[in-house]
A and B are shown apart, each in its own frame.
Chain A
Amino acid sequence: MKSTLTHTAPAKPAPPGPLEAFERFEKRAGHAGPPWLRALRTSGISYFGELGFPAAHHEDWRFTTPSVLAERAYAPAPRPDVQIPGVASLSLVPDGELEAHRLVFVDGHFAPRLSRVLPLEPEQVVTNLREALEFQSSLVESFLGRAARHETSAFAALNTAFLEDGAFVYLPAGRELAAPVHLLFVSSQPGVVSHPRVLVVARAGARAQVIEEYVSLGEQAGFTNAVTEIAAGPGAQVEHVRLQRENGASLHVGTVEARQYKDSRVLSHSVSTGARLARHNIHLRFEEPGCEGVLNGLYTGAGDQLVDHHTIADHRSPHCQSHEFYHGILSGRSRGVFNGRIYVRQDAQKTDAKQTNRNLLLSNEATVYTKPQLEIWADDVKCTHGATVGQLDENAVFYLRSRGIGEARARRMLIGAFASETIGRIGVEALRARLDETLQAWLAEELAAPGPLPLPHPPGLTT
Chain B
Amino acid sequence: MNTNNDTIQGLVGGDYKYGFVTDVEADAVAPGLNEGVIAAISRKKNEPGFMLDWRLKAYRHWLTLQEPRWANLRYPPIDYQSIVYYSAPKKAGQGPKSLAEVDPKLLETYERLGIPLHERERLAGVAVDAVFDSVSVATTFREKLAELGIVFCSFSEAVQQHPDLVRKYLGTVVPYTDNYFAALNAAVFSDGSFCYIPKGVRCPMELSTYFRINAANTGQFERTLIVAEEGSRVSYLEGCTAPMRDENQLHAAVVELLALDRAEIKYSTVQNWYPGDAQGRGGIYNFVTKRGLCKGRESKISWTQVETGSAITWKYPSCVLLGENSTGEFYSVAVTNHYQQADTGTKMIHIGRNTRSTIVSKGISAGHGQNSYRGLVRIRKSAENARNFSQCDSLLLGDRCGAHTFPYLEAANPTARVEHEATTSKIGEDQIFYCNQRGLATQDAVNMIVNGYCKEVFKQLPMEFAVEAQKLLGVSLDGSVG
Q: Does B420 contact A (CB under 8 A)?
A: yes
Residues of A within 8 A of B70 (CB): 1-3, 59
Q: Does A382 contact B (CB under 8 A)?
A: yes
Scan residues 1-44 of chain A and give those whose CB is less than 8 A from a CB of chain B: 1-4
Contact between chains at A379 and B397 (CB < 8 Å): yes
Contact between chains at A385 and B405 (CB < 8 Å): yes
Residues of B within 8 A of A249 (CB): none
- B379, B400, B412, B420: the one contacting A372 at CB < 8 Å is B420
Interface string of B415-426 (1 = CB under 8 A from A): 111111111111
Contact between chains at A386 and B420 (CB < 8 Å): yes
CB-nearest residue of chain B to A379 = B396
* Residue among A359, A362, A371 with the highest chain B CB neighbour number at 10 A: A371
Q: Does A346 contact B (CB under 8 A)?
A: yes
* B interface majority secondary structure: strand
- A375, A378, A387, A391: the one contacting B399 at CB < 8 Å is A378
Contact between chains at B407 and A390 (CB < 8 Å): no
Scan residues 56-71 of chain B and give those whose CB is less than 8 A from a CB of chain A: 69-71
Residues of A within 8 A of B414 (CB): 361-364, 366, 391, 453
CB-nearest residue of chain A to B385 = A456
Residues of B within 8 A of A371 (CB): 406-409
A115 to chain B, nearest CB (A): 43
- A3, A361, A362, A373: the one contacting B405 at CB < 8 Å is A373
Scan residues 402-454 of chain B and give those whose CB is less than 8 A from a CB of chain A: 402-426
B385 to chain A, nearest CB (A): 9
Q: Does B357 contact A (CB under 8 A)?
A: no
Cα of A363 to Cα of B69 in the assembled complex, Å: 37
B460 to chain A, nearest CB (A): 23
Known contacts: A371-B409, A376-B402, A377-B402. The answer to whether A388 contacts B418 by CB under 8 A is yes
- B412, B417, B424: the one contacting A390 at CB < 8 Å is B417
Cα of A379 to Cα of B413 in the assembled complex, Å: 38
Residues of B within 8 A of A383 (CB): 422-425
Residues of B within 8 A of A363 (CB): 414
Q: Does A132 contact B (CB under 8 A)?
A: no
Contact between chains at B396 and A376 (CB < 8 Å): yes
Residues of B within 8 A of A380 (CB): 399, 426
- B381, B396, B402, B408: the one contacting A375 at CB < 8 Å is B402
B306 to chain A, nearest CB (A): 22
Contact between chains at A376 and B394 (CB < 8 Å): yes
Q: Does A367 contact B (CB under 8 A)?
A: yes
Q: Does A370 contact B (CB under 8 A)?
A: yes
Scan residues 46-105 of chain A and give those whose CB is less than 8 A from a CB of chain B: 59
Q: Does B374 contact A (CB under 8 A)?
A: yes
Contact between chains at A369 and B407 (CB < 8 Å): no
Contact between chains at B410 and A376 (CB < 8 Å): no
Interface string of A426-463 (1 = CB under 8 A from B): 00000000000000000000000000010010000000
Q: Does A230 contact B (CB under 8 A)?
A: no
Residues of A within 8 A of B403 (CB): 374, 376
Contact between chains at A4 and B406 (CB < 8 Å): yes
Interface string of B369-413 (1 = CB under 8 A from A): 000001000010100000000000010111111111111111111
Q: Does B72 contact A (CB under 8 A)?
A: yes
- A3, A4, A368, A372: the one contacting B411 at CB < 8 Å is A368
Q: Does A347 contact B (CB under 8 A)?
A: yes
Contact between chains at B404 and A375 (CB < 8 Å): yes
Contact between chains at B406 and A1 (CB < 8 Å): yes
Residues of B within 8 A of A362 (CB): 414
Residues of B within 8 A of A382 (CB): 423-425
Contact between chains at B415 and A456 (CB < 8 Å): yes
Residues of B within 8 A of A386 (CB): 419-422
Known contacts: A367-B412, A369-B408. The answer to whether A388 contacts B420 by CB under 8 A is yes
Cα of A383 to Cα of B393 in the assembled complex, Å: 10
Q: Does A138 contact B (CB under 8 A)?
A: no
Residues of B within 8 A of A388 (CB): 417-420
B140 to chain A, nearest CB (A): 40
Residues of A within 8 A of B413 (CB): 361, 364
* Residue among B69, B415, B417 with the highest chain A CB neighbour number at 10 A: B415
Contacts A369-B408, A385-B422, A387-B420 aside, 7 further interface pairs with beta carbons under 8 A come to: A2-B70, A372-B407, A379-B399, A381-B396, A386-B419, A387-B418, A388-B418
Question: Chain A interface (Cβ within 8 Å of chain B)?
Answer: 1-4, 59, 346-347, 349, 359, 361-364, 366-391, 453, 456
22 A-B Cβ contacts within 8 A? A1-B408, A2-B69, A3-B70, A4-B72, A367-B411, A368-B409, A369-B409, A369-B410, A370-B409, A371-B406, A372-B405, A372-B422, A376-B396, A376-B424, A379-B426, A381-B426, A382-B423, A384-B421, A386-B419, A389-B379, A389-B418, A390-B416
Q: Which 5 A-B pairs have the closest CB atoms?
A: A379-B396, A361-B414, A389-B411, A383-B424, A2-B70
